[in-house]
Amino acid sequence: MTLMAAVDASVKVAGLQDLTIHRSVSSIPFAGRYRLIDFALSNLVNADINSVGIFASQPFGSLIDHIGVGKSWDLDRRKEGLFFLPTTHQNGGIATVGSFRDFEEHLQFFEKSRQTHVVVTSSFVAGQLDYKEMLAHHLASGKDITEAVGASGSLKSYILSRRLMLELIRSYREKRILSVEDLVNLKKAPYSYGVYEYKGYFAIIDSIQQYFKESLGLLDENNRRLLFLPQAPIYTKVKDEPPTRYLDGSSVSNSMMANGSTILGNVKNSIISRAVTVGINASLDSCIIMQKCTIEENCELSYVIADKDVYIEKGVKLSGTADRPIVLRKGERVTKEDSQ
Amino acid sequence: MNEKVVAMLLAGGQGSRLKSLTYDIAKPAIPYGGKYRIIDFPLSNCTNSGITTVGVLTQYQPHALHRYIGLGTPWDLDRHKGGVTMLPPYAEIDGIKWYAGTASAIYQNINFLTSCEPDYVVILSGDHIYKMDYEKLVEYHKEKQADVTVSVLEVPWEEASRFGIVNTDEDMNIVEFDEKPEKPKSNLASMGVYVFDWEKLERYLEEDNNIEESTHDFGKDILPKMLKDQQKMVAYPFKGYWKDVGTVDSLWEANMDLLDPSAGLVLHDPAWRIYSSNPQLPPQVITETGRVQGSMVNEGCVISGTVSHSVIFQNVLIDKEAVVEDSVVMSGTKIGRGAHLSRVIVPPDVTVPEKYRLLEPAAGITLLTQDLIDTWKESGQQ
């Protein structure tokens, strides 16, 4: 029994608008150097799944830029490998995972495959789901569809046979179901539904609050140990950034730091992405700073999420709260006057 | 450039003064700068200079280098036309032809070069740390209508007698080579970077091969012979950071130079990236007890101790109360709680025990070895 995978990168998640103006949920930066889809893709390739379709809807420029031909995930194959399968519908993407309308548009992807079973997964969950184990569980259970469920809810990952997938794609309209998630939630007859209990770490990113909480949650060593397993690496696009520089007079504690940054100021309880500059005497507490941001000298930021390319001029003071972090949108420039 | 430029990168050196660091890898494969290997610098220079055909000549302990370079993907050298070609010595009907000197290494691969149909050949050394635009060098060579151009660097006068010194006239024409002169007449040192017109290079390599007493070396044989024959030979004045790391001390210095903005080697430069093979590791973490000052740290590290003025490679774990200062710690190393390291190079994958300290701190830089750690354990000092 072998697996192919359909990654749903077109799901609309209502609570993340500030971070999804220019990108899909799947390409939201997470954990300093990753995009959310890296976790789904890495889980798949770590289970030796070599046939992966990414179902995307607009705007997917950022996603394509990130994934390319799939080289970072070893999915640039002659045989099978990565398939980028965008929907042609203007309003592609629905609120549940595994849209049959999207699958129907690329029916051939499922028809032509030589694999026996299909993984359907979302692209906004970070975890270490072992699909080999899940497939074994699915086969042993004899159920038609198996859903991965963890302590705090569904991982929105499913396994079903390719034969059943084709049947559902051909009949979803008359059955009045929208997606795999929809089908599993409704438990429509005549199918049988099983649950695969997932015991590891996972984070569902479906709101700004969740994004903030789960990001900073990675500062807890236990979470990190469960998410970053040496035997199951999380792969991402290679960037060739040099190591991060910590200059004299800087102070960093309890923080996760990606490469290529230059730190002159003070950082604590924060996640700093690639190629960020933190100026002299600037203080960051409980912040998530995405790639290529500049924070000039004497800034004081707490509970701030700064999207890519944000420029914060000197002396800016911003403070949000854990429940309501301040979100600075991609490319925004903040001056001292703005913040007063 | 309409003409075709091929780079030949000499990467067969042993670097015996680097002791245990080069027991099983060639000098160009030595880790440097927190994530790189030295050969990343000339390879990235080629890529950034638009040279897309590169031959890498290996001989001493070539396996790590061959595996590291692979198809050349990290340097964008996996190409349909040209790209990177690994050139170890090989056997012919007449027997195996080891590379006796720098010139013989190129001579043995004359068939490779002929098949590339180059107009110009750039000879590079795989063990120098520097950022250089070879395109400018080749342009200069063309402008001067030279047969060979030697890249030179101004060195401090008091150090000039350690280098191969090049004496020139006012127009930068080379009039004399002075190998490690006692009384240098100039402070322009050869960097071991040459551009040749291919036809001239081919001719002189063939000739040199037939001279029995030749050491088959560019600096000692080929260039002096060309000078004697009054071939047009010019010096190209290179400005910028350049370092030949031959010893443990100079490898340490070259790493420390990265922490000193005035030293002139900037890695944080999107316009001239140094490419490298990137392992997939999570971001580094500085924990609640971790302190990092004046240092560079790579991905995958977890720092719970104090790091000052040091270069820390990927996947290094530094436990609480450990202190690392003025040191270079290579990948995969674990530094135990309360250990203290100062002015040390720690090779890859070493486990430094808790409370370890150097028994006899050397005047220079200590290359930490398992022997030193075992001796410390036996001394019962813990």
Would you state the pLDDT for residue B2? 66
Of B268, B278, B287, Cβ closest to residue A245: B268
Q: Does B312 touch chain A (CB under 8 A)?
A: yes
pLDDT of B1 above 60: no
A90 contacts: CB under 8 Å, gap ≥ 6: none
Q: Does B381 touch chain A (CB under 8 A)?
A: no
CB A297 within 8 A of CB A284: no
Across chain A, which has 340 residues, the per-10-residue mean pLDDT values are 95 89 93 97 97 94 95 93 90 85 96 97 97 98 98 96 98 96 96 97 95 97 96 94 97 98 98 98 98 98 98 97 95 88
Would you state the pLDDT for residue B178? 87
Cα–Cα distance measured from residue A261 to residue A242, given in angstroms and rounded to the nearest whole number = 8
Interval B356-369: pLDDT, tens: 998 777 788 999 99
By C-alpha distance, which of A302, A310, A298 is closest to A326?
Answer: A302
Classify burial at A124, counting beta carbons within 10 Å of its beta carbon; exposed 0-12, middle 13-18, buried 19 or more.
Answer: buried
B77 min Cα distance to partner chain A (Å): 15
pLDDT of B175 above 60: yes
Would you state the pLDDT for residue A328? 97
SS3 A166: helix
Question: Residue B285 and residue A257: Cβ atoms within 8 Å?
Answer: yes
Question: Residue A242 and residue B280: Cβ atoms within 8 Å?
Answer: no
Q: Does B280 touch chain A (CB under 8 A)?
A: yes
Interval B23-62: pLDDT, tens: 889 999 999 999 999 999 999 999 999 999 999 999 998 9
Mean of per-residue pLDDT scores for chain B: 94
By C-alpha distance, which of B263, B109, B293 is closest to B201?
Answer: B109
Contact list in B for residue A238 (CB cut-off 8 A) is 74, 278
Q: Does B346 touch chain A (CB under 8 A)?
A: no
Question: How many Cβ pairs within 8 Å bridge chains A and B?
Answer: 102
Q: Where are the alpha helices (DSSP H) in chain B?
A: 40-48, 63-69, 102-107, 110-116, 134-143, 198-210, 223-228, 248-257, 370-378
Alpha-carbon torsion angle B303, B308, B309, B311, nearest 10: -10
Of B73, B74, B288, Cβ closest to residue A254: B288
Q: Report residue A324 as tokens.
A: 């309501």
B157 contacts: CB under 8 Å, gap ≥ 6: B184, B187
Question: Residue A242 and residue B291: Cβ atoms within 8 Å?
Answer: no
Would you state the pLDDT for residue A92? 67
Closest residue of A to B289, CA-based?
A: A253
Q: Calculate the alpha carbon distances from A219 to A223, A227, A264, B106, B299 in Å.
A: 8, 12, 21, 53, 15
**Predicted complex ipTM:** 0.93
SS3 B107: helix
For every residue of A56-70, DSSP letters joined together read E-SS-HHHHHHHTTS
b/e map B106-139, b = 16+ CB within 10 Å: bbbbeebbeebebebbbbbbbbbbbbbebbebbe
- Sorting pLDDT into bands at 50, 70 and 90, what band is B381? low
pLDDT of B91 above 90: no
For every residue of B4-44, DSSP letters joined together read -EEEEEE-----GGGGGGGSSS-GGG-EETTTEETTHHHHH
Contact list in A for residue B349 (CB cut-off 8 A) is none
